[in-house]
Chains A and B, each alone.
Chain A
Amino acid sequence: EDKVVQSPLSLVVHEGDTVTLNCSYEVTNFRSLLWYKQEKKAPTFLFMLTSSGIEKKSGRLSSILDKKELFSILNITATQTGDSAVYLCADTGANSKLTFGKGITLSVRP
């Protein structure tokens, strides 16, 4: 059975801090690993990672995948209160099926 584990489950930081969110996975027929940000409504897509060692970057957010060790990290630098959200990690296996982790609740205090 596919499995995705995220850590920590919750995190409280102050504005300006840098945070690292972790995701480990076990999946048959791995295709990709995805990160989503969820505020009050639907999860919104952040990154899709398919190759090891290649960092993807968008503004203050970046992510990287290690297919040998089966994990990914999401980094957020110079955090802002608008970064407060639940961050979801998911892997894609057979039949395009995504398996999600439980999510990491990030709270950024002013």
Chain B
Amino acid sequence: DVKVTQSSRYLVKRTGEKVFLECVQDMDHENMFWYRQDPGLGLRLIYFSYDVKMKEKGDIPEGYSVSREKKERFSLILESASTNQTSMYLCASSLLGGSSPLHFGNGTRLTVT
């Protein structure tokens, strides 16, 4: 069974801090994604990657960056956290080609104060 693991379930950070959200998958999936989920707005794609060192902007990349140095790990970075980045962050992975479903991690609930 595919496992996508996000390093933290809950995180509280202060405005201006640099924040790292880590995600690891164990099924050798090429594609990895970061979404944020907010009430009334659904899941919105921040960044995705379909190969090591490759990254593509999603629908709301502003204020975020990503890193994919190894196939199994995809990190989301908030360079200078702001209160409007308080949200649930979901990482997901899938096989290349769009013919397989996304498998999600359990999410990280980030609060920026």
Query: Cβ of A99 and Cβ of B45 under 8 Å apart?
Result: yes
Q: Is B19 an interface residue (CB 8 A)?
A: no
Query: Cβ of A101 and Cβ of B42 under 8 Å apart?
Result: yes
A residues 74-110 touching B (CB-CB < 8 Å): 88, 90, 92-93, 95-103
User: When chains A and B are docked, how far (Å) is the Cα of A102 from the Cα of B35?
Assistant: 13
Q: Is B77 an interface residue (CB 8 A)?
A: no
Chain B residue at minimum C-beta to C-beta distance from A30: B98
B33 to chain A, nearest CB (A): 7
Report A-chain residues with C-beta under 8 Å of the C-beta of B101.
Answer: 34, 45, 48
B21 to chain A, nearest CB (A): 14
Give A residues with C-beta under 8 Å from B: 31-32, 34, 41-45, 48, 50, 88, 90, 92-93, 95-103
Besides A42-B107, A48-B101, A102-B42, 9 more A-B contacts (Cβ < 8 Å) are A34-B102, A42-B90, A42-B106, A43-B104, A95-B50, A96-B98, A97-B45, A98-B102, A100-B42
